[in-house]
Amino acid sequence: MTGIRSGWITRLGAVVLAAFAHLPLAARAESDAMLATIDKPVTVTVQRAPATAEAAAPRRPRVIVSVTNYSPTADCTPVQVVVKGRTEGGAEVEVGRFAITPDQAFDAAAPEAQRFALPLPSGLATDKPVRFTVHLVPVEGARPNSACPPGGPRAAKPGGASVRIGAVEIQ
Q: Is 67 helix (H, G, I), strand (E, B) or coil?
A: strand
Question: Apex CA 23: angle with CA 164 and CA 106, to 5°?
Answer: 20
pLDDT tens for each residue of 102-145? 888 999 876 789 999 999 999 998 889 999 999 999 988 877 77
pLDDT tens for each residue of 6-34? 554 445 444 444 443 333 332 333 448 89
Query: Whole-model pTM above 0.95?
Result: no
What CATH number has the domain spanning 35-170?
2.60.120
N-terminal to C-terminal alpha carbon distance within the chain: 58
pLDDT tens for each residue of 47-71? 887 666 555 556 789 999 999 999 9
Question: Which residue type is seen at 143?
Answer: R
pLDDT the model gives residue 28: 35
pLDDT the model gives residue 104: 87
* Domain definitions of the chain by residue range: 1-32, 35-170
pLDDT at 84 exceeding the cut of 60 = yes
Longest dimension (CA), the chain: 77
* H or E, element range at 9: helix 2-32
How many Cα atoms within 13 Å fall on the side-chain side of residue 99? 13
Closest CA to 88 of 29, 32, 38, 45: 45
Backbone angles phi, psi at 52, to 5 degrees: -95, 165
